[in-house]
């Protein structure tokens, strides 16, 4: 339904929802929590993780563990989303594979995040946040806001994130 419920307001929500989600994932989950590329006061670190949760890509413990597994075995057979298994696999196929998902249940590589009560709390409420978002969008602007501001911007942000696994690792370095 996105084409059939277009409004300029809904498109605005979609654009800024996408920018917000990808920016939050990149800054918090990827750069700060996974790679420790920069350090902030703990309250700011936690504050940056909240919008990343809104990207609907998993809670911080799950996302960072997955990404650390990837970097531990980057572009090798045991890489959870290895490009050697094909474009579809590295883009999103790995998400539906039970063997890969079992590997990702091993969160021993994120002991730093697991001991943080705030990240444990986000893990506990992650599903509630995920369910609340489309409801909030609906309340803000009806079905067009929910469709464009939540669903479409979420799906676009997923594919942009997954393109790093597929496009960048197949044709890049």
Q: What is the length of the chain?
A: 173
Closest CA to 15 of 166, 145, 132: 145
Count other C-beta atoms under 10 Å from residue 116's C-beta. 19
What share of the chain in percent tops pLDDT 90? 66
In this predicted structure, the answer to whether residue 102 has a pLDDT above a threshold of 90 is: no
pTM: 0.87
| Model pLDDT, residue 46 | 98
Closest CA to 140 of 19, 48, 55, 14: 14
Strand ranges (E), 20-75: none
* φ, ψ of residue 56 in degrees (nearest 5): 60, 45
**Collapsing DSSP states into helix, strand and coil, what is residue 73?**
coil
Please tell me which residue, 118 or 163, carries the higher pLDDT value: 118
What lies within 8 Å, CB to CB, of 25 at 6+ separation is 52, 55, 57, 63, 157, 161
Q: What is the DSSP letter of 107?
A: -
Average pLDDT, integer, range 89-95: 84
Residue 173: exposed, middle, or buried by beta-carbon count in 10 A (0-12, 13-18, 19+)?
exposed
Per-residue pLDDT of 117-156, as tens digits, reads 999 999 999 999 999 999 999 999 999 999 999 999 999 9
């Amino acid at each position: 339904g996105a084409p059939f419920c277009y409004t300029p307001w809904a498109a605005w929500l979609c654009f800024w929802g996408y920018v917000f989600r990808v920016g939050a994932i990149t800054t918090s989950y990827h750069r700060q929590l996974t790679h420790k590329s920069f350090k902030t006061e703990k309250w700011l670190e936690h504050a940056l993780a909240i919008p990343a949760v809104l990207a609907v890509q998993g809670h911080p413990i799950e996302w960072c563990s997955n990404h650390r597994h990837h970097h531990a075995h980057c572009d090798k057979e045991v890489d959870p989303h290895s490009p050697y298994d094909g474009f579809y696999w590295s883009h999103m196929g790995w998400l539906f594979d039970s063997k890969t998902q079992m590997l990702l249940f091993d969160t021993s590589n994120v002991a730093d995040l697991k001991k943080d009560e705030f990240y444990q709390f986000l893990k506990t409420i992650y599903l509630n946040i995920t369910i609340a978002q489309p409801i909030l969008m609906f309340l803000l602007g009806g079905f067009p806001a929910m469709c464009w501001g939540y669903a479409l911007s979420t799906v676009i942000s997923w594919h942009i994130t997954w393109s790093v696994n597929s496009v960048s690792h197949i044709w890049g370095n």
